[in-house]
Amino acid sequence: MKQNERWMLRYHELMKFLEENHRNPSKHRIEEHDYLNWLKANRKAMNAGKMKPERVEKFKELLAMTEQYRRKNQYE
């Protein structure tokens, strides 16, 4: 599996997670750490200007979706 294929696979997994759970990955749940770490690493790469240009647009869509669910009250 090529690096770009792995990146797209993780991207789609995270989008699916957000759509199903209507919340961002939690730092308190071990099973969600992979998503959270991937998200943080890619945000850091994008801010440093090291992300490939074809990924930037897709990642910005993902960040917009995560912003929707930012600090959502669990009892709503």
**Cα–Cα distance measured from residue 73 to residue 30, given in angstroms and rounded to the nearest whole number:** 20
Report the chain's mean pLDDT, rounded to a whole number.
Answer: 91
Asked whether the predicted pLDDT for residue 73 surpasses 90, the reply is no
Q: What is the pTM of this model?
A: 0.84
Chain segment 49-62, per-residue pLDDT in tens: 999 999 999 999 99
Domain boundaries, the chain: 3-68
Q: What is the pLDDT of residue 69?
A: 80
Asked whether the predicted pLDDT for residue 76 surpasses 80, the reply is no
Type of residue numbered 70: R
**Cα–Cα distance measured from residue 40 to residue 66, given in angstroms and rounded to the nearest whole number:** 12
